[in-house]
Amino acid sequence: MKRKTFYFAAILLCFLVTFRLSAQNAKLTLNLNKSGAKVSPTLYGLMTEEINHSYDGGLYAELIRNRVFKDNMETPEAWSVVQEGGGKGTIMLMGANELNVPMEQQRNAINDALTVCLRLVVEKGDGRVGIANEGYWGIPVKPQTTYQASFYAKGTDEAAGPLNVSIESNDGTVTYASGQVTLDKGPWKKYRVSLTTTAGIKPTAAGRFVISTKRPGSYYFNLVSLFPPTYHNRPNGNRIDLMQMMADMKPTFLRFPGGNFLEGDYFSTRFPWKSTLGPLEQRPGHPGCWGYRASDGIGLLEFLEWCEDLKIEPLLAVYAGYSLKGDYVYPGPLLKPYIEDALNEIEYVTGSVKTKWGAKRAEDGHPAPFKLSYVEIGNEDWFDRSPSYDGRFNQFRNAIKARYPQILCISTISEEQKGKVTTGDVPSMIDEHYYRSAWQMEEDADHYDKYNRATSPKIFVGEWATREGVPTTNMNAALGDAAWMTGMERNADLVLKSCYAPLFVNVNPKTGTLPRAWQWGSDLIGYNAITSYGSPSYYVQKMFNTYLGSQVIPVAGTNIPVKRATKQDSTNRRAIPKKATIPTLFYVATKNTKGGAVYLKVVNTSDKAQAVTITLNGATGVAAEGTMVTLKGDKPDDTNTIDEPEKIIPVTSKIKDISKTFTQNFAPYSVNVIQMYTRP
């Protein structure tokens, strides 16, 4: 054959093959007769820390911002003076006023934790004068709701008498609920009152909390608190809507208290678990690492009770001698106090009431110990270039193993995360974090297919997210998430645990002098004071967790169309694509070994609907009827917002024609789960 003719024939053949292939459906063959990986029963969990007002102004139901007046030592942040109808007054922060004087003799300190208070001086009581708190971007007002208000107060003798307590509109013209307490003469005393709103109120976040009087005098306030009803009616509890959203995700564990929040910027600002225990009166709060102070109203016991409420296991991260700004403790004798502290913390969680810290837990109201299988030693220690982590990890692990042989220790470095691996025994798990673009998630969805089972430690993907969409993620992120999750799920014998981060975001924008509520864009669940919503990524989490079998079914995919990186992908400097083309379909299948349920997850990242031929190899029988759950967007940047919370939600439909080989259509930009039943 002449050279020219040969080239022509070759081009024609390529064209025909390409044309034929593209004209054919993609094919997924589920090999039910072959055994894939056993799925870790704790594959999907939750990760949490105080970021984006996740707790204060978020999950923690407390409505009063700056309740112990320590958020800003210059000014009573979130507080203002109310002066009406000729009433005149001023407010001012007051510290514990004398140094070297025992606390009980200091006029303004209630104890070592409550050392700053707010003073209201009422000069003229012709009208109402008082203090108002604006809450976390508003006090939420709902109809027929009872709020529990409490505060410490004292006053000069002429101040004694009734104090009005109310929830009202920001301008004070509408009172939604009110009550009264009688201020006694004498020292600090705690006052409590219930406030109930009437029916027929339109829910609003434009409320404020006010304590007021018409009598001149000096008034002092501290630990001012207002709680709406909480999840499971727990005192000092959590927001009902956000707890329910987590419960709906069907998680199996909670990683806490961080993240960076565990480490703190410095040693002195690490998560101070001991001062987060006991009555609120004992909790001074501490500087967080995300630009605002943490009240520590969600303290160590509240984290554990949060797990209890969701019926999940805690995964406790202990401070391991490294803080965000680079301070580290050299392994050896200097590290010992930190190790002792971690052992005590574990004792608080797991010890019997006969142990010192177990007894403290009982005193705090929870005699029963909590189950704790895993302890993570530090957070993201690949940032510690010293390189002290190897020594720190091994010293912590040896001490934990010696006292709690049943507890498995998680290391925070791996080669994957540009850290070295630790020496000594292979860690029980290694925590790897991935924050990426959708393209990066999709091109690396086979990441764990490539891990060597014989040499790799088990993996905990302790933080990960597709970072597209602000402040909550969009549909493109959800597609990237779902593609990535197919890979984790297919390798769920290796990846034993995973959790998305960050979980929560208060979506309030900058308003007046208040900064915007969030620090990290791309989060899972958004809210303001009154309402909440799930991002498309949230629904992907829910779908993947809900429909999960106990064993992976090997799936062969053929004729899968590919896509090219877009200009936008290539210009995103933080996320340059490594591959020129990637598949547009991602998939994973699992089955329940009992009952015959099969779950096939298919992600279509393409802008076109795709018809896929599905073959159930090795099934002797197939039920014709099944269900399909679909999450889809019209375009990649479609999203949910606080004003349009349900633009993208999963829709369940019936499939009636399932057989050993059948064709199913998958919408453009969609994440799908097919639930079907087969007989082996």
Rounded to 5°, angle at Cα 542 from 537 and 548: 125
Residue 537 or 672: which CB sits closer to ligand AHR? 537
The single-letter DSSP state of residue 170 is: T
Determine whether 380 is an active site residue: yes
Mapped to the 3 state alphabet, what secondary structure does 305-349 carry? HHHHHHCCEEEEEECCCECCCCCECCCCHHHHHHHHHHHHHHHHH
- Distance CA(610)–CA(632), nearest Å, equals 13
The single-letter DSSP state of residue 535 is: -
| Contact between 527 and 533 (Cβ < 8 Å) | yes
Can residue 257 be called a binding residue for ligand AHR (CB under 6 A)? no
DSSP-H helix ranges across 458-548: 475-490, 536-546
CB of residue 499 to ligand AHR, shortest distance in Å = 10
Can residue 502 be called a binding residue for ligand AHR (CB under 6 A)? yes
Q: Taking CB under 6 A as the rule, which mask of x and - marks residues 452-471 in contact with ligand AHR?
A: -----------x--------
CB of residue 625 to ligand AHR, shortest distance in Å = 42
Residue 227 or 500: which CB sits closer to ligand AHR? 500
CB of residue 435 to ligand AHR, shortest distance in Å = 7
CB of residue 56 to ligand AHR, shortest distance in Å = 16
Element (H, E) at 30: strand 26-31
Binding residue for ligand AHR, selected from 130, 155, 237, 258, defined by CB under 6 A? 258
- For tokens 């490594």, the residue is 578
| Contact between 187 and 150 (Cβ < 8 Å) | no
Can residue 444 be called a binding residue for ligand AHR (CB under 6 A)? no
Can residue 489 be called a binding residue for ligand AHR (CB under 6 A)? no
| Contact between 524 and 503 (Cβ < 8 Å) | yes
Binding residue for ligand AHR, selected from 49, 56, 71, 168, defined by CB under 6 A? 49
State how far the alpha carbon of 277 is from the alpha carbons of 263, 273, 419, 587, in Å: 18, 7, 34, 45
Binding residue for ligand AHR, selected from 362, 520, 642, 668, defined by CB under 6 A? 520
CB of residue 426 to ligand AHR, shortest distance in Å = 23
SS3 content of the chain, % helix, strand, coil (to 5): 25, 35, 45
175 burial via Cβ count (<10 Å: 0-12, 13-18, 19+): middle
Residue 302 or 432: which CB sits closer to ligand AHR? 432
Can residue 259 be called a binding residue for ligand AHR (CB under 6 A)? yes
Can residue 251 be called a binding residue for ligand AHR (CB under 6 A)? no
Q: Which stretch binds ligand AHR (CB under 6 A): 28-36, 58-66, 185-193, 256-264?
A: 256-264
CB of residue 320 to ligand AHR, shortest distance in Å = 13
CB of residue 322 to ligand AHR, shortest distance in Å = 12
Can residue 266 be called a binding residue for ligand AHR (CB under 6 A)? no
Closest CA to 93 of 217, 222, 211: 222
| Contact between 199 and 239 (Cβ < 8 Å) | no
CB of residue 494 to ligand AHR, shortest distance in Å = 22
Closest CA to 617 of 27, 21, 40: 27
Residue 67 or 293: which CB sits closer to ligand AHR? 293
- Distance CA(615)–CA(678), nearest Å, equals 12
Binding residue for ligand AHR, selected from 501, 565, 582, 612, defined by CB under 6 A? 501
CB of residue 49 to ligand AHR, shortest distance in Å = 6
Can residue 537 be called a binding residue for ligand AHR (CB under 6 A)? no
Q: Which stretch binds ligand AHR (CB under 6 A): 254-262, 330-338, 356-364, 368-376?
A: 254-262
Can residue 264 be called a binding residue for ligand AHR (CB under 6 A)? no
Closest CA to 242 of 537, 649, 533, 645: 533
CB of residue 261 to ligand AHR, shortest distance in Å = 6
Can residue 267 be called a binding residue for ligand AHR (CB under 6 A)? no
Task: Retrieve residue 386's tokens.
Answer: 């010293």
Residue 485 or 524: which CB sits closer to ligand AHR? 524
Residue 259 or 299: which CB sits closer to ligand AHR? 259
Binding residue for ligand AHR, selected from 66, 230, 260, 537, defined by CB under 6 A? 260
DSSP per-residue codes, 70-132 = -S-SSS-TTEEEEE-TTEEEEEEEE----TTS-GGG-SS-SSSS---EEEEEEEEESS-EEEE
Q: Which stretch binds ligand AHR (CB under 6 A): 258-266, 402-410, 573-581, 647-655?
A: 258-266
Q: Taking CB under 6 A as the rule, which mask of x and - marks residues 620-659 in contact with ligand AHR?
A: ----------------------------------------
Binding residue for ligand AHR, selected from 380, 431, 444, 569, defined by CB under 6 A? 380
- For tokens 């909480």, the residue is 230
Longest dimension (CA), the chain: 113
Which phi and psi (to 5°) does residue 11 adopt?
-65, -40
Contacts of 145 (CB under 8 A, 6+ apart): 196, 197, 228, 229
| Cis preceding-peptide flag for 536 (omega within 30 of 0) | no
Q: Which stretch binds ligand AHR (CB under 6 A): 71-79, 149-157, 243-251, 255-263?
A: 255-263
Closest CA to 304 of 260, 336, 345: 345
DSSP per-residue codes, 199-229 = TTPPPEEEEEEEEEESS-EEEEEEEEEEE--
Site residue total, ligand AHR (CB under 6 A): 11
Can residue 431 be called a binding residue for ligand AHR (CB under 6 A)? no
Alpha carbon 556 to its chain's center: 35
Residue 278 or 521: which CB sits closer to ligand AHR? 521
CB of residue 523 to ligand AHR, shortest distance in Å = 9
The single-letter DSSP state of residue 24 is: S
Can residue 288 be called a binding residue for ligand AHR (CB under 6 A)? no
CB of residue 501 to ligand AHR, shortest distance in Å = 4
How many residues are present in the chain?
A: 680
Residue 214 or 255: which CB sits closer to ligand AHR? 255
Can residue 225 be called a binding residue for ligand AHR (CB under 6 A)? no
Q: Which stretch binds ligand AHR (CB under 6 A): 121-129, 144-152, 252-260, 532-540?
A: 252-260
- For tokens 């929040």, the residue is 261
Can residue 404 be called a binding residue for ligand AHR (CB under 6 A)? no
Residue 50 or 489: which CB sits closer to ligand AHR? 50
Can residue 523 be called a binding residue for ligand AHR (CB under 6 A)? no
- Catalytic-labelled residue, pool 134, 168, 380, 489: 380
SS3 call for 619: coil
Q: Which residues bind ligand AHR (CB under 6 A)?
A: 49, 51, 258-260, 379-380, 463, 501-502, 520
Give the residue numbers annotated as catalytic, written as ranges: 380
